[in-house]
Structures are given as C-alpha cells and as structure tokens.
Amino acid sequence: MRSIGTRLAAWYALAATVTLACLFVVGYQLLQSYLIHGLDLLNAAEFEQIRARLGPDYKTLTSEVINQRIRETTEYASVLFYIDIHSEQHGTVFYSSNLQGRAIPDIPGKHTYDAAIAGVGELRVAEFVLPPFDVTIATSASQVRKVMEGYIEVCSALLAAMLVVSVIIGFGLSRLALKPVRLIRETANRIRSDNLSERIPVGQVRDEISELARLLNQMFDRLEYSFNQIRRFTAEASHELKTPLSLVRLQAEKLLVAGDLSAAHEDAVQMQLEELARLNRIIEELLFLSRAEARVITLDLKPLDPERFLHGFAQDARVLAEHHGRQFVLTREGEGTVAFEDKRVRQVLLNLLANAVDASPRDGVITLRSSLAAGLWRVSVEDQGPGVPGEQRERIFERFVRLDNRGGDDKGSGLGLAICRSIIELHHGRIWAESGADGRGLRVVFEIPATQIAVDTTKGPAEKTRPAPELA
C-alpha cells in the first residue's frame, strides 16, 4: 500500500473492528454467565419449592409419600426440570420420568456445573442437600446455547458492517487529515523554473504540516534566488561576450582582407572565423532563451493562413532536404487562420527539419504534416532515422542535451529544441516528441491554439510541455 491515506484508513478500520470484536467477546462472556446464573437461580427456586412441599417433617415420611408429594409439585414443570433425589439409606426416592432412565452426571466437589445427557441434551445441574437426601436438579441449557449462537451471528454481522463503515470513515478522515499535504504536493508540483515565485499557503495553525510548508517555502526562496543568479549570469555573460567576440571576428576578417598571410595561416584564420560564427550563434541562442525565460520577448502575432505559410516553407525545405539527399513530403488538412509569428514558427520548423535531415538515412523521407481542427493547429515533422528512446524524448528539449544517436560529424550545440520549446510556449502552445509511424524514427509535434485571445507575453506559458501518448 503506497498511499498514506489508504494505510491510515486500513489502520483505523482494523483498530475500530478489533476494539469492537474485543467488546463483543467480553459481552459474550458476561451474557453467558448471566444466563447460566439465571438457570442456577431457577434450579434453586425449584429446590425451595420441593422443600416447602415436603414440609418440615419430611424425615418422618415414607419414600412413597415423598415420591407422591414431589411428583405433584414437579408435574407442571416436567418439561423444565430434571430431578433426582436419593439418599444412601433409602436409595432413589424420586427420579423424573423425562430423564428416560438416564442418570444425571455427577462432578464430585462441584455444586453447579454443565453436563450433557445423550437424548436429553445440554443441562445446567445444581446439587442441594436436604438431609438425609441429595437433591440434584437440572434444567435444559439448550436455550442458552441458542441465545449465544444468535449473539455470535448478530455480532459477526455487526463486525462486518463495522469493517465496511470504518473503512469508509477511515478514508474520509484520512482525506481530511491529508488535505494540507495534498495542497503542499499540488503547489510544489506547480513550482517550476518558470514559476519559482509561487509559494505553498501556510495556515494560521502551527502544527507539523504548517511547519513543513514553512520549511519548503524557505527552500523555494533559496532555490529561486539561485535560479535567478544563474539566469542573470547566463544573460549577462552572453551579453558581455558578444562585444569582444565581434572584435576578434573583425580582427580576423581584417587579417584575411589584408591578404599577406601564408596559405596555412589563411586556413587557420578561416577556421577561427567559422568557430567564431558558431560561438556567436550559441551566444545569440542563449540570449534568446534568457530573454524568453525573463518574459521580455514580445511576439508579433498576426492571424495568418497556415496553408500559405507552409507552402512557402515547403519550397525551401524541399531544396534543403534534396541538397542533403533526403526527400521532403508535406501534407495539410483543415482550413482557417492562426495567430502566430511566421518568423519564429519558421525558425522552429527549420530547427526540426535540420534535426530530421541530420538523423535521416540517405533517401529517407521527411514528412511535415499540418492539421487545423477544433481550434488547434497541429504540426509534426517526422523522419526515418534512429529515433530517440522513450525515456530520453523529454530530455532532448533541455539545453545542451545532445544524444549520441546521429553519428557522423554532429556540430550541433544542443540548443535547437530548447529554443523550439521556448518559441512554442510563447505562442501558448506545447511541443513534444514521440516515436514515428511503426515505432521508427522520431516525430516532433507542436500545437498552437488557433485563436489567442490575449497576446500577452508577460504571462507564463499556458502549460509546460509534456509528452503526449504514442500514436503508433
């Protein structure tokens, strides 16, 4: 049982049922002893009646008279009592006919006890002395047994009902008791890098849970501070690096233009320029990501026709794909307009296309699908490459994550998909990766709401992207 709520409910139900069971056991003992005591009182009352009927001069009476008197006394109660009166001197002076010739068992040293006679049943026996006679009176205990059996049946039903009710009450109580914990979990779950200022609400009551919430909030304070430091550092470092980098590039270009370098030196400077361009691109991308995180990027959203936009993109994409020996296919469904910034979405598609080209085998088909339905524009780019294992598909959207799955001379920096995610989230959409058709290749999908009511980039992304269920 993983849930604390379930465990609490189970413990509560167990404790309540066991307590009730103990009470029933005590009740059973008490009830049984009261009933048996009642039988003993009955036997004693019958004895008193016999003694009264015999009178104070019973010692002078003959056995026949005694028998006669007792028979008259006990006639009415012959179904209730089993009586045996005997003495050493006179032998048996009275013996109830309902005993059917069987003797009442005797337990030496005991005056009241339980016994059973075959054909008669269970009896409660009491022995009395009426000198010189020993009087043994027994009464049927079968009613007591029936009452006790009924008690057990009722108690079992009550215990079963108690178990069900206590499980329900236990669940209710545990839900109530764990409500603050759920609140902490939900809030903590919402707190992410783009939402670090949110805090867990702390109640007025000072208990263990509010103390935990306070400690977690303090931890979030420290985390937010560290995150902000890192963000500021990235933004400032990228910004500060740009100027010296441009100077180095200018110097290198100047050296090339001067034309007094040897062929080997010219190659070296050329290589430096290429690496500088790459470095510049990384800095630009980091700056973009920092600004997107700081929500200072404003999109130029216009209602556009995705069909026209994709038609233009497909022409370039086809040329690019064919240049690398890949095929490019575009499929479109649905009509309408979508508010998006074409430059940014084009950047996303180019990133996805570049990844697909890198991953595809020669002559591999890269498919771009677009569908516009139910207020959602959905676009996917699918290739026939090696794909990405399920557990890594979310990771590839993190910065600088590059998997060793494309082989060859991979010069990527691992920022492409992080930028794609930022751009799509700025459009209040989401992006994720899944496996391609038949489990082959990779399909990267993004969705953008067709109509965005408020174009407000100061708001956070609508929802952090999460992988959608696999289609294939």
Ligand X SMILES: Nc1ncnc2c1ncn2[C@@H]1O[C@H](COP(=O)(O)OP(=O)(O)OP(=O)(O)O)[C@@H](O)[C@H]1O
Q: What does the binding site for ligand X look like in residue numbers (CB under 6 A)? A: 351, 355-356, 359, 383, 385-386, 388, 396, 401-403, 405-406, 412-418, 442
Q: How far is the CB of 425 from ligand X (least distance, A)?
A: 15
- How many angstroms separate the CA atoms of 44 and 51, rounded? 11
Q: Are 449 and 376 in contact (CB under 8 A)?
A: yes
List 139, 217, 355, 422, residue binding Mg ion (CB under 5 A)? 355
Q: How far is the CB of 435 from ligand X (least distance, A)?
A: 10
- How many angstroms separate the CA atoms of 208 and 17, rounded? 29
Question: What are the two backbone dihedrals, phi and then psi, of residue 392, each rounded to the nearest 5 degrees?
Answer: -100, -10
User: Does residue 139 bind Mg ion (CB under 5 A)?
Assistant: no
Q: Which residues pair with 372 in a beta bridge?
A: 377
Q: Angle 309-315-319 (CA atoms, 0-180°, nearest 5)?
A: 145
Q: How far is the CB of 444 from Mg ion (least distance, A)?
A: 10
Q: How far is the CB of 412 from ligand X (least distance, A)?
A: 2
**Partner that binds at residue 401, options Mg ion, ligand X, none, CB closer than 5 to 8 Å by kind:** ligand X
- How many angstroms separate the CA atoms of 324 and 321, rounded? 5
Q: How far is the CB of 285 from Mg ion (least distance, A)?
A: 10
> Which parts of 242-310 are beta strand (E)?
302-304
- How many angstroms separate the CA atoms of 292 and 308, rounded? 27
Q: How far is the CB of 289 from Mg ion (least distance, A)?
A: 14
How are strands ordered across the β-sheet holding 133-140? 91-95, 81-87, 133-140, 121-130, 112-117
Q: Which residues pair with 125 in a beta bridge?
A: 113, 138
- How many angstroms separate the CA atoms of 168 and 15, rounded? 14
Q: Which is nearer to ligand X, 163 or 401 (CB)?
A: 401
Q: How many residues bind Mg ion (CB under 5 A)?
A: 3
**Partner that binds at residue 461, options Mg ion, ligand X, none, CB closer than 5 to 8 Å by kind:** none
What part of residues 386-425 is at the interface with Mg ion (CB under 5 A)? 412, 416
Q: How far is the CB of 409 from ligand X (least distance, A)?
A: 12
What part of residues 169-198 is at the interface with Mg ion (CB under 5 A)? none
**Partner that binds at residue 405, options Mg ion, ligand X, none, CB closer than 5 to 8 Å by kind:** ligand X
Neighbours of 232 (CB within 10 A): 12
Q: Which is nearer to Mg ion, 217 or 355 (CB)?
A: 355
User: Does residue 385 bind Mg ion (CB under 5 A)?
Assistant: no
**Partner that binds at residue 468, options ligand X, Mg ion, none, CB closer than 5 to 8 Å by kind:** none
- How many angstroms separate the CA atoms of 253 and 280, rounded? 15
The residue ranges that bind Mg ion (CB under 5 A) are 355, 412, 416
